[in-house]
Amino acid sequence: MTTLISVLNVILNGFFFYNFILVQFLGLCSFLVISKDIRSSAGFAMAITFVNTLSAATTWLAYYYILVPLKIEYLYILVFILLIATFTQLIEMIIKRYSPSLQRSLGIFLPLIVVHCGILGSAVMILGFTYSFVEGVVFGVSAGLGVGMVILIMAGIRERLALVKVPKPLENVPITFIIASLLSIVFLNYVRVITF
């Protein structure tokens, strides 16, 4: 029972309380670019959940089974970045070789994800929370889904926004920031509603 509650807690942490985009501001660059239409947002959401899960698992294993025994924990940033870049490249190659249809829907977002702050951010956060392996992976999945959901919501709003007359100086980036700020208020208040 306690493990169930702790896992639930981890899921809520990743999805709402530490939502990458609206609470932690990780990966805003790609958020602004991708959230212009719903189709590519959905592809990006899938890709980021996938990569984030894998990166949570590999960085956890690398930290606790390689860096800690060798006593070189201070190199974690370097190791994580190289690890993430390498296996994203690997996934891209595998997808390109075996599934052209997946390549079209998911593969084109993989280069964008290498520079997504959220991937490294979640790896560092998992260390900070001292999660176990399972908790870390669950956090990776839910944080990826959290990003995906926010991007989809934003893409929906921005498609409607095309029909509205926005003041000229606020077009594009500024209005997106202001909408994101309103969404962020919503997300922030989940913390007060859901308490254990």
Q: Is residue 23 a contact point for another protein (CB under 8 A)?
A: yes
φ, ψ of residue 130 to 5 degrees: the values are 45, 55
Q: Residue 170 has what DSSP assignment?
A: G
Binding letters toward another protein, positions 71-110, x by CB under 8 A: ---xxxxx--xx--x-------------------------
Stretch near another protein under the rule CB under 8 A, chosen from 23-31, 46-54, 141-149, 150-158:
23-31
Binds another protein by CB under 8 A, chosen from 162, 163, 164, 173:
173
Tell me which residues in 112-141 interact with another protein (CB under 8 A).
115, 117, 120-121, 124-125, 128
* Helices 38-62 + 133-161 axis angle, to 10: 160
**Virtual CA dihedral for 151, 154, 156, 158, nearest 10 degrees?**
-130
From the CB of 173, what's the least distance to another protein, in Å?
A: 6
Please say which residue, 32 or 38, places its beta carbon nearer to another protein. Answer: 32
Distance CA 20, CA 27 (A): 7
Cβ within 8 Å of residue 72, ≥6 positions away: none
CA nearest neighbour of 143 among 129, 123, 128, 113: 123
From the CB of 137, what's the least distance to another protein, in Å?
A: 19
Q: Which residues bind another protein (CB under 8 A)?
A: 22-29, 32, 74-78, 81-82, 85, 115, 117, 120-121, 124-125, 128, 167-171, 173-178, 180-182, 184-185, 188
